[in-house]
């Protein structure tokens, strides 16, 4: 049994918590610390966020130092890491023989928001022993930095899979779940299909003439509600944010694991995980999606596609990803 210390968000839906749960399923003794939780919220508000960046970095780095000095020879997994100083990581590696791993579910080169990344993160990457990223494009960019650390590919996954889905029931909905933003509204507004139902926080901000305004559930949606709605649907729409273009996102594995038939933006990287037109369906525009949904609805027998989707993600869980992390740690730590 290896001792693992995780630094990152303790939010219930966070990537950090998904890995914490996965490590525990593997009987690994794990703890999680959200050091940034203790930095005063007042200094995180929009107009002060940039001004207090360096105090925030020093604060988080100090807590990292204090926590990690208490033990030796641990696997330290830091998620994102934009608020931790490289020289502190180097000091802890040399003094207490910790093995440092960085896992990032965002784009480390996107400096538009402090909560996504900072230049400090890029500077500190070379201090880690092992760095993981979810995107092959980002993987190439990080390798282009010529860092001394090991860099590996670690896709997203699912945290829960349905064991039995409701067979041969009437499926009449097309659903999209996710928070509102202007790009998503614009795309869905072009999708002229009365079966579309939208679930997620912030959709009360959509325009008055939004095409699907009468079919909105405008609160944050939990897993139980998502599973219930997916069981009534014949299609679940997956849209990428800018950083996910040509790659995938967390929903890419979550939707099929929840028993959904996924209609996703096309990505060559994503296609490598699924069988096109069997376990996943791709679209290239709102017009293309409208046409494909209309054709697909006429099939009526959807069970086989759900079965294909579940089979395609059977080995794509966070438990499997956690095993992969530990395999790489053992490989590089031994060397």
pLDDT in tens, 114-137: 999 999 999 999 999 999 999 999
Classify 182 as helix, strand or coil.
helix
> Are residues 262 and 279 located together in one domain of the fold?
yes
Distance CA(335)–CA(325), nearest Å, equals: 16
Q: What is the pLDDT of residue 235?
A: 98
Place of tokens 């499997």: 320
CATH number at residue 261: 3.40.50.2000
Q: Is residue 118 part of a domain?
A: yes
Within-domain flag for 296? yes
pLDDT at 214 (0 to 100): 93
Structural domains of the chain, count: 2
Residue with tokens 């609805």: 297
Tell me what pLDDT residue 5 has.
96
**Domain presence at residue 121:** yes
Q: Are residues 108 and 187 part of one domain?
A: no
Q: Which residues contact 57 (CB under 8 A, 6 or more apart)?
A: 82, 83, 84, 85, 118, 120
Distance (Å, whole) CA 143 – CA 108: 13
Cβ-based neighbours of 75, under 8 Å, separated by 6 or more: 2, 3, 4, 5, 98, 99, 101, 326, 329
pLDDT given for residue 331 in this prediction: 95
Count of CA atoms in the C-beta half-sphere (13 A) of 23: 23
Q: What percent of the chain has pLDDT over 70?
A: 99
How does pLDDT run across 8-43, given as a tens digit for each residue? 999 988 999 999 999 999 999 889 999 999 999 999
What is the DSSP annotation of 192-210? Answer: --TTEEEE-TTGGGS-TT-
For residue 19, the tally of other CB atoms under 10 A from its CB is 27
Q: Mean per-residue pLDDT for 138-153?
A: 96
Asked if residue 75 belongs to a domain, the reply is yes
Q: Name the residue range of residue 183's domain.
A: 173-312
Contact of 56 with 35, CB cutoff 8 Å: no
User: In which band, very low, low, confident or very high, does the pLDDT at 335 lie, cut at 50, 70 and 90?
Assistant: low
Q: What is the DSSP letter of 106?
A: S
Closest to 245 in 3D by CA, of 138, 119, 117: 138
Same domain, 125 and 80: yes
199 and 247 within one domain:
yes
- 3-class DSSP state for residue 26? coil
Question: What is the chain's mean pLDDT, rounded?
Answer: 94
Distances (CA, A) of 277 to 193, 266, 288: 20, 12, 14
pLDDT of residue 34: 97
Instruction: Say if 159 falls within a structural domain.
Output: no
The verdict on 306 and 188 lying in the same domain is yes
What percent of the chain is predicted at pLDDT more than 90? 87
Range from 33-47, 98-112, 270-284 carrying the lowest mean pLDDT: 33-47
Residues 214 and 259 in one domain: yes
For 272-328, give the DSSP string. TTS-BTTTBEEESSHHHHHHHHHHHHTT---HHHHHHHHHHTTT-BHHHHHHHHHHH
Tell me if residue 108 falls in helix, strand or coil.
coil
pLDDT digits (tens, 9 = 90+) for 161-205: 998 877 777 899 999 999 999 999 999 999 999 999 999 999 999
What the block records as the tokens of 300 is 């009526």
Q: Are residues 204 and 269 in the same domain?
A: yes
DSSP for 129-167, please give it: SEEEES-HHHHHHHHTT--SSEEEE----BS---SS--T
Do residues 149 and 12 both lie within one domain?
Answer: yes
Kindly report the number of other CB atoms within 10 A of residue 297's CB atom: 16
Same domain, yes or no: 24 and 110 = yes
Report yes or no on 327 lying in a domain. yes
Does pLDDT of 98 surpass 90? yes
Token pair recorded at residue 51: 């001004």
Confidence check: pLDDT of 2 > 70:
no
Mean pLDDT of 146-152: 95
Question: pLDDT at position 1, please?
Answer: 47
Contact status, residue 56 vs residue 43, Cβ threshold 8 Å:
yes
Residues 91 and 21 in one domain: yes
> Could you tell me if 246 and 321 lie in one domain?
no
Angstrom distance (rounded) from CA 164 to CA 128: 42
Do 143 and 234 fall into the same domain?
A: no
Cβ contact 107:117 at 8 Å: yes
Each residue's pLDDT tens digit, 214-268: 999 988 788 888 999 999 999 999 999 999 999 999 999 999 999 999 999 999 9
What is the average pLDDT across 48-60?
A: 94
């Amino acid at each position: 049994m290896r001792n693992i210390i995780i630094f990152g968000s303790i939010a219930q839906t966070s990537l950090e918590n998904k890995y914490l749960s996965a490590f525990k399923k593997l009987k690994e003794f794990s703890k999680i610390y959200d050091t940034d939780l203790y930095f005063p919220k007042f200094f995180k508000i929009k107009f002060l966020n940039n001004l207090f960046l360096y105090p925030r970095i020093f604060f988080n780095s100090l807590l990292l130092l204090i926590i990690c000095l208490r033990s030796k020879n641990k696997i330290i997994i830091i998620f994102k890491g934009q608020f931790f100083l490289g020289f502190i990581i180097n000091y802890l590696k040399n003094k207490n023989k910790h093995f440092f791993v960085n896992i990032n579910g965002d784009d480390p080169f996107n400096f538009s928001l402090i909560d996504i990344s900072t230049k400090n993160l890029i500077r500190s990457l070379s201090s880690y022993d092992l760095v993981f990223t979810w995107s092959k494009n980002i993987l190439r960019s990080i390798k282009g930095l010529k860092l001394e650390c090991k860099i590996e590919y670690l896709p997203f996954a699912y945290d829960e899979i349905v064991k039995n889905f409701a067979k041969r029931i009437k499926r009449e909905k097309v659903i999209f779940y996710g928070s509102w933003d202007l790009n998503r509204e614009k795309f869905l507004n072009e999708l002229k299909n009365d079966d579309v139902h939208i679930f997620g926080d912030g959709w009360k901000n959509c325009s008055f003439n939004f095409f699907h305004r009468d079919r909105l559930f405008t609160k944050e949606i939990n897993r139980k509600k998502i599973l219930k709605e997916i069981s009534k649907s014949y299609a679940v729409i997956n849209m990428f944010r800018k950083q996910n273009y040509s790659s995938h996102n967390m929903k890419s594995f979550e939707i099929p694991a929840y028993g959904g038939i996924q209609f996703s933006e096309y990505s060559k990287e994503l296609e490598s995980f699924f069988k096109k037109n069997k376990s996943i369906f791709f679209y290239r525009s709102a017009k293309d999606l409208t046409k494909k949904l209309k054709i697909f609805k006429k099939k009526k027998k959807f069970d086989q596609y759900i079965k294909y989707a579940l089979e395609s993600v059977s080995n794509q869980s966070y438990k499997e990803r956690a095993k992969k992390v530990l395999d790489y740690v053992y490989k590089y730590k031994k060397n």
